[in-house]
Amino acid sequence: MSKAHRGKGIAGTYNRGRGTCPVCKKDGVKVLYEQEINGEKVKICKVCKASIKNGKTA
């Protein structure tokens, strides 16, 4: 397993992977996780990714 969402893995991404999460509206978080919401692919933060996976959101 590589650390795709840490360190050098995100250095080349937009704003180093940081931005505003479209789900929880938090800014300055790392939005690195692709998730399909309402048929649209969006990048969300780790927390939201986990809660969606657990069936808590969306």
Shortest distance, position 19 Cβ to Zn ion, whole Å: 10
H or E element: which one contains 8? helix 8-11
Residues whose CB is less than 8 angstroms from the CB of residue 43 and which lie 6 or more positions away in sequence, other chains included: 19, 22, 31, 32, 33, 34, 35
Select 8 or 56, whichever has its Cβ closest to Zn ion. 56
- The distance of closest approach from Cβ of residue 46 to Zn ion in the complex, given in angstroms and rounded to an integer, is 8
Site for Zn ion in 10-49 (CB under 5 A): 21, 23-24, 45, 48
The site for Zn ion (CB under 5 A) is made up of 21, 23-24, 45, 48
